[in-house]
């Protein structure tokens, strides 16, 4: 039984590696960390950055700041986020979601 499980895992991993899923996830994590670091340098606030790839296409990048970024007007912040996401992910996503957490 363990041998069959090991074979199934190897086959699944080989299939995923062949279709680029592993690369997309690995690169996506590195890209999201780079976006967070770059935005922290420009805003002073470190956001959480998530992403969704589908069939090799970057669909959505979500940038969530832990509080409002009062230092920049919203339209300027949105432009900065758009620029940084496109540069670091090396592709413009179909959609960028910009969010702020707010306390009660």
The pTM (predicted TM-score) of the whole model is 0.76
H/E element holding 41?
A: helix 21-43
pLDDT of 19 reads 53
- 18-32 pLDDT, tens digit each: 555 566 667 888 999
For 21, the token pair is 């899923």
Q: Is 36 exposed, middle or buried (0-12, 13-18, 19+ CB in 10 A)?
A: middle
d(C-alpha 44, C-alpha 66), whole Å: 11
Architecture of the domain defined by 20-100: 2-Layer Sandwich (3.30)
d(C-alpha 47, C-alpha 37), whole Å: 8
pLDDT of 55 reads 82
pLDDT of 31 reads 94
- Give the single-character DSSP code of 46: P
pLDDT of 37 reads 97
pLDDT of 86 reads 95
Q: What is the mean pLDDT of each run of 10 residues along the chain (104 residues)?
A: 60 54 74 96 94 89 92 92 95 94 86
- Domain ranges for the chain: 20-100
Three-state SS at 103: coil
pLDDT of 33 reads 95
85, 93 contact by CB (below 8 A):
yes
Question: Please, which residues bridge with residue 52 across strands?
Answer: 60
Residue with tokens 């080989």: 14
């Amino acid at each position: 039984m363990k041998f069959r499980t090991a074979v199934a895992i190897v086959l699944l991993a080989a299939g995923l590696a062949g279709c680029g899923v592993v690369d997309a996830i690995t690169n996506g994590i590195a890209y999201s960390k780079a976006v967070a670091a770059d935005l922290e340098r420009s805003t002073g606030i470190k956001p959480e950055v998530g992403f969704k790839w589908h069939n090799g296409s970057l669909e959505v990048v979500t940038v969530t700041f832990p509080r409002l970024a009062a230092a920049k007007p919203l339209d300027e912040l949105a432009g900065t986020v758009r620029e940084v996401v496109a540069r670091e992910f090396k592709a413009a996503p179909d959609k960028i979601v910009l969010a702020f957490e707010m306390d009660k």
